[in-house]
Structures are given as structure tokens and as C-alpha cells.
Structure 1
Amino acid sequence: MPERAGVSIQKRSPDGEAGPRRRESILSATLQQLAEQGYRDLTMESVASHAGVHKATLYRWWASKGHLVGWALGASLSTGPIPDTGNTRDDLVSWLKVTIANYTSTTAGRALPGLLNDLADEPGTLEAFRAAFLDPRRANCAQVIRRGVDRGDIPADTDIELFMDVLAGPVFYRQLMTGTPPPHDLAERIVDLLLFGRIPRRLPTS
């Protein structure tokens, strides 16, 4: 069990014992309070009250406020399904479109830029976010890339970790740094650059 700053990152999985309905009510209340109050003013007491549970119930499954918020953010984003269209380019485009939707069309994704400073130093927050979302999401992408390698569409000696970083990197950069809305064909343009070296051209202006 990983620890940071003396705080247990995860006492036990939020799934199972909490029950699906109770778990969903807690995560929903967390996101609602986050939107209304911001991270600094959010409390475990307010989440528990809005979810209709005792505060002790929250601490039974989440070690801290940061751990709960990280898990709520991650659990509200889509990790799949793993695309299998029969075509490596289409699989990667499909995967990347879900990533774009996660960060531009969901409450959690839109909230992340404003929360990064608050969450970066909170024990358990980013670890919980990775466990609930990033790790399984990247595992899905790695499976798509390995399937492309097996088909001969991607070189066998490809650095898969770096490939995934480059694939999703422009989406994170736009959402977290520049705030630039993604063009409708962003997924296709990134994948074509990676697979075929097609340098992106400026989109025509109307």
C-alpha cells in the first residue's frame, strides 16, 4: 500500500463494500461541492451531509479530502471501451476522441485546470486520480498500440510510453495550459502525424 507524507493513500477500495449506489452518491456529492465551493472550502463534512452518509463512512474508504477528490475526478471520466475497428488508425482516433471528450465535455475534465495548484501538493490526490482513471486509460491505449504492432502498422521497437504521451499530450496542453478549443478533427490530425508523419496544416478560415 503506497504512502505519502504519512497518509495511507488508499485504505481499501471504494468499490464493493460501499455499495454502488452509496459510492455514486458520495462521488456525485463530491463533484457538486467541488463545483460550488472549490477545493479549498470543500470539507468531508459537507460531502457526507449532501451524500446522506456519516463522515466516518468517507474516511473508511478515502484516507483524506485529497484522496476523495482525486478519486471522484478520475471515476467520473471514461476509461474505455478499448476500440477494435480492425484498423489501427481508426482505433487510435477513436481512443483519442474519448480522451478529448473527457477533458472538454465533462465537469471533471473542465474543472482540472483550475484545480491543479490546489491538488498537486495534497497527499493522495494525484495518486487516486491515476488509480481511478489514468492507469486503466493508458493500459487501454497500450493494448491498441500493441495490436497495431502485431498488425505491422506500428514499428515493433516503438517506445509505447512515449507514444502514449505524444498521442494525448496536445489534448492536455490545450486544456490545461492554453485553453484553446480543439478543432473537430484534432484526433485525426494527431494520429496521422504519429503514424504517417503528416505535418498538420492550418485549417481554412471561413
Structure 2
Amino acid sequence: MSLADSRPQPCGPARGRPRSEAVERAILEGVMKLLEDGVPLAELSIERIARTAGVGKATIYRRWSGKEELFVDVMRAAEPPDPELPGTSMRDDLVMLLEALRLRGLANRSSAILHNVQAQMKSSPKIWAAYHTSVIAPRRRQGLEILRRGQRNGELRPDVDLELANDLFVGPMLVRSVMRPDMELPDGLAEQIVDTVLAGLRPVSAPGAQP
């Protein structure tokens, strides 16, 4: 799997000399090559990654403070990118978020490497914690902010529990993507989920509500 066209933003603080995108791509691709060769995450040392990427260990440490942050950026580069939200309405933004989740589910199904790495990450508390902090938690906060804006704009009932509502929107896509790999992830599924849930959460007089 080539990461040549990816432009990940490393999650660690910038240190040392200015970043070189070519060097960062080489490091990320070096990690992916080792994973494709079947090397478990637990056996991926910084020294081995540096040797595969053709760089020095110091070059890696200038960009990432450790393996956990590096692995998060490898996953971020290999997954479909997070979408730019249209901001036209709560519904449109929710559809965009769920469509991105659907595409990530399809990518995990089609890529044995991604599927394998996801499973290994969950067995490593430090790596999973770094991934959750840098990737999963920001995505959840983004969903909650969309719902808050929708509540302020009258697109969502004021009595709706936003944490619960967020789970109601995201849950069906996660179930199909992670827990039910036999289920299809067809085009239009994001719209179907959002419209089904919104039918019970919109104020009767909200814009776009069905009579």
C-alpha cells in the first residue's frame, strides 16, 4: 500500500529542523512495508523502521516522540481522509460524517493490512490510547458540535440528549462496519441512517421535517 499521495499531520509536537514531507512519507511507507511483510506492531522498533526507511533514528524522533504517535499517523495516512463539512445544515454535516465512516469501513474490509493493524492496535493499550486521543475523540467532538449547532438552529429538539443522539447516528454504521462484516455498506446508507434517526429527533416544525 503506497502512501506517496498522503499528507498526514503528525500528532506529536514539531521539534528540530523543518519537516520534510518526502522524509516523512518515506518513514510512513517504511512502517507500512514492514506491516505488509507481516511484522507485528510489537516487533516494530524505531531502529528497524529507520533502517527500512533509509533514515537515522534521530530523524524519526525529530518528528514523533515515540512509536505510538508514529503508528497513529501511519493509520491516519492509510485511512480515507476526514471530510470537509459543508456546513449547510446539521443533516448535511451528519451525512458527510457517516459517509466518511462508511468509507473507512470499506477500506478496512478491503485491506488485510488495515484490518490486521486495527486488531493489533486494540491489543496494545498505549497505541490504542494514542489513536483514541488523536483520532477518535476529535471525531466524536466534531459530531457533538454539529448536534449542538443543530439544536441552537432549531434543527434538533431542545430536550434531546446530545451524547445519546450522537451514538444513535454513529452506532448503526459502526455495527455494520465492525461487528457485522457480513452486512453491506451500500451507497446511500449514510443518508438512510441520518434521515431515519432525525425523523424521531426533529421538532415538528423544523426545516425539512416531514408533515
Q: Same fold by TM (over 0.5)? A: yes
Distance 1:102 1:96 in 2: 10
Contact 1:76–1:108, Cα closer than 8 Å, also in 2:
no
Matches within 5 A, 1:1-206: 12-13=12-13, 18-40=19-41, 41-77=43-79, 78-84=81-87, 86-105=88-107, 111-179=113-181, 180-197=183-200
Contact 1:149–1:156, Cα closer than 8 Å, also in 2:
yes
Residue 124 of structure 1 aligns to a residue in which SS?
helix
Distance 1:110 1:168 in 2: 24
When normalised by structure 2's length, the TM-score is 0.70
From the superposition, tell whether residues 18 and 147 of structure 1 become closer, same or farther in structure 2 (CA, over 3 Å).
same
| 1:191 Cα deviation after fit | 0.6
Residue 149 of structure 1 aligns to a residue in which SS?
helix
Contact 2:95–2:190, Cα closer than 8 Å, also in 1:
yes
In angstroms, what is the RMSD of aligned CA positions? Answer: 3.3
From the superposition, tell whether residues 117 and 92 of structure 1 become closer, same or farther in structure 2 (CA, over 3 Å).
closer
Which runs of no fewer than 5 residues in structure 2 stay unpaired?
1-9, 202-211
What residue number does 2:4 align with?
A: none
| 1:35 Cα deviation after fit | 2.7
Contact 1:82–1:144, Cα closer than 8 Å, also in 2:
no
Which runs of no fewer than 5 residues in structure 1 stay unpaired?
1-9, 199-206
Distance 1:21 1:13 in 2: 18
| 1:71 Cα deviation after fit | 3.2
Residue 37 of structure 2 aligns to a residue in which SS?
helix
Contact 1:44–1:65, Cα closer than 8 Å, also in 2:
yes
Contact 1:142–1:164, Cα closer than 8 Å, also in 2:
yes
Residue 94 of structure 2 aligns to a residue in which SS?
helix
When normalised by structure 1's length, the TM-score is 0.72
Distance 2:14 2:172 in 1: 32
| 1:190 Cα deviation after fit | 1.1
From the superposition, tell whether residues 120 and 51 of structure 1 become closer, same or farther in structure 2 (CA, over 3 Å).
same
Residue 55 of structure 2 aligns to a residue in which SS?
coil
Distance 1:197 1:62 in 2: 45
Distance 2:126 2:62 in 1: 15
Distance 2:104 2:14 in 1: 22
From the superposition, tell whether residues 137 and 13 of structure 1 become closer, same or farther in structure 2 (CA, over 3 Å).
same
| 1:93 Cα deviation after fit | 1.1
Identity across aligned pairs (percent)? 28
Contact 1:74–1:134, Cα closer than 8 Å, also in 2:
no
Distance 1:168 1:57 in 2: 39
Q: 1:123-174: CA deviations, max 9, x gaps? A: 4311221243223322332232222112211122433333223322223222
